[in-house]
Amino acid sequence: MYGSAQTIPRSCAKVSETTVARAAKGMSRTIFLVLDDAAVAGAVQKLLVNSRDEPFNVEWVTRCCDGIERLLSRRGENIAATVVDLFLPDSQGIESFDLLFRASPNVPILVLSSLRDEDVARLAVQRGAQDYLLKERLDEYTLPKAVTTMLARSAHSEARLLEEQRAQVTLASIGDAVVSTDVAGNVTYLNPVAERMTGWYRQEACGRPLQEVLRIIDADSREPALNPLALAILKDKTVGLSGNCVLVRRDGYESAIEDTAAPIHDARGQVTGAVIVFHDVGVARAMSLRMSHLAQHDSLTGLPNRVLLNDRLNQAIEMARRHSQSLAVLYVDVDRFKHINDSLGHAVGDRLLQSISRRLVACVRSSDTVSRPGGDEFVVLLSEVGCAEDALCAADKIRAAMAAPHRIDQLDLHVTVSLGVGLYPDDGTDAETLLENADRALLRAKADGRGGSQLFEPEIDVHAARGKKPGYGASSSDSAANPTGRRDAGA
């Protein structure tokens, strides 16, 4: 028991059947009275139990200490609201409110005051009381209405607090960084991911200008990027960063990001700030670039594959057409490469192809392209040549570079290459025709003997050339003996 705590009997009040039914469903609430005057307490109880809006259970104590003990007890959880007179036997004035409010700050308090003590009641409202009523003006409408309104307001506040807590938990749990600002552009919130990515703790960042906390630059120009939140507020719509933005953390660490910024509106639709959601795309972007590279390059040599070759050849043809220039395509085939694979194994053959690709790249200009469509064939695109002789000079340079031994696993491998040359626009005005005619010239070069170069000639009998390809006759160098540690891979 709690000192003089009492449950005021409800038998003195007539309760409607509807009220009883609602109470039976568990909708009743307990109003806790901390009042010194028994007459006032009885009048309050009568007004509450006869309320048409809500059935109330009423408990009553006369001293502040008993009220604190009741609020702090386990049964205090059942109290919906407290009605208090600030002038009690053991406590006077605003001190009474402060003690009760500290005991249970989540229970709303309605102050009953005499007219002469109204200033104290107003002070209590400033310190957290929901409202106050004058004892001289209590009636069957005012008091129940005040209590019902107070409970509704308290329920709304609790629901709002719960919603905010859920939002906080959600924002703290998601994998994206979240930063919000007020309409002036000052930071009002960072979630944990944003703290990690920016290097700022929420307590430090709040109140600071967004540009100080969220440093975003263009990856290429290194200039500050447009403020997405300011843009969202200005345009009053969702906006995003450009696709090449980098976030600079407080310690200077940089990470590529993608983001979306949106304005925040109040209940009247007015913009009150903005929120930006962003995430690190560095790994995804690197993976995308890697996948793009693998889709366009040979995995063994790192050279452009057929897809990228066709793209570059089409671009080169368009440029040559625009400037009335010539270009050349050199189809390069490693002579008797199958013999290498069969006798020394594919691992040695792969390393030989890598060595050949490096030498090919070294033989041409940076503006030219060396590609490996597959197997032991390479295609060299000379983006600008003056005449056919220039293309043949390039072919001679390549054959000379290949003639030097390739040192692989303590073996000096000697190989030769055959080349077919197609010229734009003489031998084709599109990529497919030009490559096909360069291949036909290569077949003719192979048929005439390995290690040579051949310009495309319209009268080449490609069928005859293809018929000779499988049965290349061995040259004198094919049967030459090789010293220990050296292997002749071709003529």
| Alpha-carbon dihedral 151, 155, 158, 159, rounded to 10 degrees | -170
Bridge partners (DSSP) listed for residue 304? 297
Q: Which of 43, 89, 39, 38 is nearest to 66 (CA)?
A: 89
CA of residue 436 relative to chain centroid, distance: 46
Report yes or no: 311 and 295 within 8 Å, Cβ to Cβ.
no
Does the annotation mark 376 as catalytic? yes
DSSP 401-446: HHHS-EEETTEEEE--EEEEEEEETTT-SSHHHHHHHHHHHHHHHH
Per the rule left: phi > 0, alpha: psi between -120 and 50, beta: everything else, 404 is beta
C-alpha angle with apex 68: 64 to 74, nearest 5 degrees? 150
How far apart, in Å, are the Cα atoms of 334 and each of 317, 331, 355, 410? 27, 10, 12, 21
Within 8 A by CB and 6+ apart from 488, the residues are 414, 477, 478, 480, 482
Among 376, 427, 439, 488, which one carries the catalytic annotation? Answer: 376
Residue 455, classed as helix, strand or coil, is strand
How far is residue 35's CA from residue 84's CA, in Å, rounded to a whole number?
6
Type of residue numbered 84: V
Close Cβ partners of 229 (under 8 Å, ≥ 6 residues apart):
179, 181, 185, 210, 261, 274, 275, 276
Backbone angles phi, psi at 488, to 5 degrees: -85, 115
Look up residue 294 and give its DSSP letter: H
Active site residues: 376
